[in-house]
Amino acid sequence: MNILTIFFVALGLAADAFAVSAANGIAMKREYGIGHSVIFGMYFGSFQFVMPILGYTLGAAFGNAIGEWSPWVAFGLLALIGVKMIVESSRKIDSELICDMSQIIAPQNMCMLAIATSIDALAVGVSFALQDAPLFLASGIIGIVAFMLSAVGVLVGNKIGAALNKSAGWVGGGILIAIGLKILAERYL
């Protein structure tokens, strides 16, 4: 497996992380700072780096179980967070805040999002074991691409969210649910 192939795999794996980061950026509105992009990049990049290594380690013995349940786990986590964003934004009376920033970047929320968007990287790690791919090089590229796209996603989403005003929480939550449904559809259609 060459570097260009690994890079395209990394782009594919990071697409969901970009979309989820953008959805959260939409919900941030005025509270956004460059540090928030770095936080999302660190979480998503770290999980995208570790998951292929974990998948490689688990190997083909568990590959079928991982592949069978991963879309459902990703959907469940994204749907849960999406519904939570919609409910929170519906309760807000003050138009200044769409979602509480401390809840968006809370470690438990960030870990759930990072796991949901990196489960497919776990399965890719299993395939790396079967292809004898350069594991740490591939995982490093995957992690760096995920970091960069996630950080940019928060910024892009925030710019969009500023234009959406009160409906931003609904849009962000809806996007998370739609990404979860897309993951299920890709698996079963």
CA distance linking residue 189 with residue 162, whole number of Å: 35
Total number of domains constituting the chain: 1
pLDDT tens profile 94-148: 444 445 677 788 899 899 999 988 888 887 887 777 677 789 999 999 999 999 9
| Cα diameter, the chain | 55
CA distance linking residue 72 with residue 5, whole number of Å: 27
What is the structure's pLDDT at 141? 96
pLDDT tens profile 17-66: 998 899 888 878 677 889 999 999 999 999 999 999 998 888 656 655 65
| pLDDT exceeds 80 at position 156 | yes
**Average predicted confidence (pLDDT) for the chain:** 81
Q: Which residues are within 8 A (CB) of 21 and not within 5 positions of it... i.e. 6 or more apart?
A: 37, 40, 44, 149, 150, 151, 152, 153, 154, 157
Assign 83 a pLDDT band (cuts: 50, 70, 90): confident
Which tokens hold the place of 130? Answer: 């079967």
What is the structure's pLDDT at 45? 97
Burial class (CB in 10 A: 0-12, 13-18, 19+), 175: buried
Range of the structural domain that residue 34 is part of: 3-188
